[in-house]
Structures are given as C-alpha cells and as structure tokens.
C-alpha cells in the first residue's frame, strides 16, 4: 500500500473516473523486479546495491537476476501478447492516459528518487519526469491513429488493402542518464499499438524503472504486458544476449553506446529481429559570426551542461567562427562562473550534480589532459573536485584542435571544448568528420546560411538558433553510427508495427 500524502484528487479519463493518490518518495522504492504481474526476487536470492553517486550512500538493493528470470519475463510477455494485441486502441489509450496522470501526480517524489540514484539536479529530474510522462500522453493519442490504406488494383475484380499489426514482444534496454524518459519513449509506442515488453533498465538506475512500473500497475496494465528485469553489470551481458537471440522477442529497442549497440545488432541477426538503436553522438555546436552572441552563450549553457553534460545530444564540439571567438569564450566563462553550482542534486540551487561513477570522471579527466598535452588551454576548471569521487569541475578548453581526443569522443561530462574556424565550409567539414550523426546545433542570423547549414549537417536532429530540441512530438534518431530507426512523434509507433498487404479476389 502507498504511504499517502493528505492530497488526493480524481481525474476523468476516457469516460471513467479514477482516483490518483500521490505517493511519498519512500513508497515508490521497490526492492523486487516485476514479472507477469508479480513483484519477485531473483530465484537464487542474489541482489546488488543501488548507490547515490553524489555521496556513496546506499539506497536499496534490488534483485540480481539471470537469464532464468529473463526467460520467465519473455514467456510472460509472449503469452500476454495474445490478449493485449486484441484490445482496442481506445482501451490501450485509456490505460496510457491514466499512467501519464499518475506520473504527473507523483512528479516530485519520482524526481527525488531519480536524483538520488542518478545524481542529476532536482530541476533536471523534474524536467525529465515531465518529459518522460509526455510520451505516454502522446502515444495514448497516437494509439488511435494507426491507419491502414486502400490501394487501387491493377486487375479487375480485386481489392488491395494494407493493414498494420503489432509486431510482438519488445525487448527494451535503457541507459542510466535518462532512466525514466528512455523507458517511456519506447514503452509508450510499443503498448499503444498492442505490443508487450520486457524491460532491462541500466544497473545504475533500476529504481526509477521499478517506480514507473508500480504506477503502471496502478493504471491497470494487465499481468505480463510489462515486465522489468533488474541485473548487475556482471549479469547484464548474458541477459542482453538472451533478449536478442530469443525467438519469442520480435524487436529490440536500445539506447546506449555505439559499441554495445553493435553487439546487440549482431546478436539479433540470428533471429532477424527488427532493431531500433539510439546510440552515441558527437554533437557539433556551431556559432557563426552573424549569431546573436547572448543567445548563443545561453544556448551553449543549456545544451552543454544539462545533466552535468551526460546526454547523448550534448554539445560535444563547440565550433566558433574567428570573428566572434574571443567574445564568445569570454562570455561563456562568465556565464559558467555565475550560473553553475556544483553539488548534491538534492541541495537547493545546485544545477551540476556528480557524474554517474568514478570511471566516468576518469574518462573526462583523461580527455582534458590529452587536450592540454596537445596544446589546449584550460581557461577555467579542468580538474576533479573534492566534493566526492564522482564530481568534476565545469571546464572550458580553448585552442582545441581536431587531433585531440575530445574532438572525436563523447565527453559525457561538464567540459566545453571550443574550436576556432574561419569559414562556413570549414565548419561543416569539421562537424561532419565523425562516424556519428545524432544531433547538431548552430547559431546564425543569416537566413540563407541557416538553410544551407541545416541541410548539410549529417545528423538526425538539428537545432537552428535553438538548443532545447527534445519533445515527444518529434522523430528522435540519428544518422551513421548514431543509430537505426526513430523514436517519438508519429513515426515512433512504426518501430513496433508490421505492415500487411491483403489482396481480395473474386469481387
């Protein structure tokens, strides 16, 4: 039972009145995984700890499951698919709307849980909960807009129809940096069209996944339709392999590194699964001489330092034209000094939390040191902090060149590496000189340049004079080795649908 706040309210959804009860932070913490409508432990009783990256405090232990429990989850989802696929779009829409309302009602408690296990500031966590909930709202509406087609026949006496049907069980594997939104963006689309799911959340952040699942149970998700398998880093590879190779799983959706994505793609080949991948990025952020300097600096702050720089669409290479370079760097440094507050994400005013673990800190520090050794200058920051082992100082690197590791690897930390360029052609060449193509940004007030650059950037997501580009309504995905397929928007449901052609003769 929930520990209840005094506040209660009711909500009308799809013609039915249901009551929403706000839950406390502690009541949303689950120490069991969720399989076939039941909260269960690992069969061998093993668990692993979930730790607050800001201070190393123990939060809760959760089941360290293996392939045995994962197979049970797959079997449950496979069985539940037979009935779930036959529900009406209106029924599925109604449940998703309820789930959305429950997440919104419990936003503060979910945000606190998210901050404790992931480390991001409360402001970032609240924003993620809102963003994550929006996918259930969006796909609740899209559930009723999955249309077929009628095609004029070439032969008399025939009728040609096209219908769309749910593909089956979806294996959903999600990352630690957006542990709510990356689940809802995939799961909302899958459920909306009649698929069932087995979710494997990141080992660093399983608690938010379980909390979302708890609210889904309250919203009325039937047993077996949604399953959550938790596992440690040790057991995760074999669980991923089973999900990819099991013939009962029809599609895989993964968000994470390109390296892991390639492994999952290879493992899925044996059963010729459909695979949706949202992988690594190396986003260019271009500031042309014609840019509004203040807006470009503000955009950089928002794009670079959200979630302490740990997002796949963060500005990774900041390219600034030589005519505005010095002014931009000066203003950016001032903004960082005046606006960025590092600390525990639960503390008031903090907007830069810890990195996810010490390995992430060491990677960032290594990239900074490589750049300095090759001639870059640490204008501000550039070192580990004494707040805790997972904190890194917000940093500006100037005089960065394309031979430095920070220009080729995702930094995934609060480091702004600034590269000088001369011409538009040079900027485009640098921006596209990467195997990744997820997001790209640029600031310019030249309308002709805006069209040219937007079309020439080899990325799936473009922000022109805008750095906050993520929303439920858009198709999210990348070019090149940044992934396959699209999530969100009207295109998001396509990843979970089969297209069937029906030819009716003798008419």
Q: The dihedral of CA 129, 132, 137, 138: what is its sign?
A: positive
Q: Which amino acids are annotated catalytic?
A: 278
Residue 1 has a CB neighbour count (10 Å cut-off) of 5
C-alpha gyration radius of the chain: 24
Supply the angle between the helices 122-142 and 181-193 in degrees, to the nearest 10: 10
**Tens of pLDDT along 478-496?**
999 999 999 999 999 999 9
pLDDT at 7 over 60: no
Residue 337 has a CB neighbour count (10 Å cut-off) of 11
Predicted local confidence at residue 193, as pLDDT:
98
Predicted local confidence at residue 21, as pLDDT:
61
Q: For all residues of the chain together, what is the average pLDDT?
A: 95
Evaluate whether 253 touches 276 at the Cβ level (below 8 Å).
yes
Mean pLDDT of 282-298: 98
Q: Domains of the chain: which residue ranges? A: 25-279+489-500, 284-459
Q: Measure the CA dihedral 181/186/190/192, to 10°.
A: 40
Homologous superfamily of the 25-279+489-500 domain (CATH): Aldehyde Dehydrogenase; Chain A, domain 1 (3.40.605.10)
Pairing of strands 169-173, 249-255: parallel
Predicted local confidence at residue 27, as pLDDT:
87
- The helix (run of H) or strand (run of E) holding residue 160 is strand 159-166
- The helix (run of H) or strand (run of E) holding residue 367 is helix 358-373
| Nearest-angstrom CA–CA distance, 395 and 381 | 4
At the second CATH level, the architecture of 284-459 is 3-Layer(aba) Sandwich (3.40)
**In the numeric block, which tokens belong to residue 482?**
């940044």
- The pTM (predicted TM-score) of the whole model is 0.94
**In the numeric block, which tokens belong to residue 130?**
């809102």
Predicted local confidence at residue 2, as pLDDT:
30
What phi, psi does 206 have (nearest 5°)? -80, -20
**Tens of pLDDT along 198-238?**
999 999 999 999 999 999 999 999 999 999 999 999 999 99
Buried b (16+ CB within 10 A) or exposed e, 264-288: bbebbeeeebbbbbbbbbbbbbbbb
Evaluate whether 114 touches 29 at the Cβ level (below 8 Å).
no
pLDDT at 243 over 70: yes
């Amino acid at each position: 039972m929930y520990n209840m706040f005094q506040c209660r309210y009711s909500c009308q959804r799809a013609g039915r009145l249901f009551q929403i009860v706000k839950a406390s932070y502690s009541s949303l913490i689950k120490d069991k995984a969720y399989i076939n409508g039941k909260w269960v432990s690992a069969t061998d009783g093993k668990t692993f700890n979930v730790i607050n990256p800001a201070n190393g405090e123990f939060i809760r232990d959760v089941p360290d499951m293996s392939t045995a429990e994962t197979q049970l989850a797959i079997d449950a989802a496979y069985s539940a698919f037979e009935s779930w696929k036959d529900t009406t779009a209106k029924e599925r829409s109604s449940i998703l709307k309820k789930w959305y309302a429950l997440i919104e009602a419990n936003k503060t408690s979910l945000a606190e849980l998210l901050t404790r296990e992931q480390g991001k500031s409360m402001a970032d966590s609240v924003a993620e909960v809102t963003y994550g909930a929006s996918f259930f709202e969006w796909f609740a509406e899209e559930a009723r807009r999955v249309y077929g087609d009628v095609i004029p026949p070439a032969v008399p006496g025939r009728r040609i129809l096209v219908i769309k049907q749910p593909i089956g069980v979806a294996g959903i594997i999600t990352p630690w940096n957006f542990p709510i939104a990356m689940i809802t963006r995939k799961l909302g689309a899958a459920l909306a069209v009649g698929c069932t799911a087995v979710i494997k959340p990141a080992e660093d952040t399983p608690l938010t996944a379980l909390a979302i699942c708890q609210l889904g149970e309250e919203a009325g998700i039937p047993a077996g339709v949604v399953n959550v398998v938790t596992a440690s880093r040790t057991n995760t590879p074999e669980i991923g392999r089973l999900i990819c190779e099991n013939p009962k799983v029809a599609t895989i959706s993964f968000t994470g590194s390109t390296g892991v994505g390639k492994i999952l793609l290879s493992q899925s080949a044996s059963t010729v699964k459909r695979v949706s991948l949202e992988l690594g990025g190396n986003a260019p952020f271009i500031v042309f001489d014609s840019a509004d300097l203040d807006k470009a600096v503000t955009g950089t702050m928002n794009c670079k330092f959200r979630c302490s720089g740990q997002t796949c669409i963060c500005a990774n290479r900041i390219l600034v034209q030589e005519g505005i370079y010095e002014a931009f760097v000066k203003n950016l440094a001032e903004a960082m000094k005046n606006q960025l507050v590092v600390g525990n994400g639960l503390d008031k005013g903090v907007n830069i939390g810890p990195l996810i673990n010490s390995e992430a800190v060491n990677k960032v520090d290594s990239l900074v040191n490589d750049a300095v050794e090759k001639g870059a200058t640490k204008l501000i920051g550039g070192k580990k902090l004494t707040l805790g082992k997972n904190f890194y100082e917000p940093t500006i690197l100037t005089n960065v060149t394309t031979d430095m590791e920070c220009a080729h690897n995702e930094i995934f930390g609060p480091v702004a590496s600034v590269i000088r360029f001369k011409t538009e052609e040079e900027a485009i060449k640098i921006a596209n000189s990467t195997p990744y193509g997820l997001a790209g940004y640029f600031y310019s007030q030249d309308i002709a340049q805006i069209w040219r650059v937007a079309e020439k950037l080899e990325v799936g997501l473009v922000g022109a004079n805008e750095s906050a580009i993520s929303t439920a309504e858009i198709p999210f995905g990348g070019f090149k080795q940044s992934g396959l397929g699209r999530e969100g928007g009207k295109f998001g449901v396509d990843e979970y649908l089969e297209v069937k052609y029906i030819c009716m003769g003798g008419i």
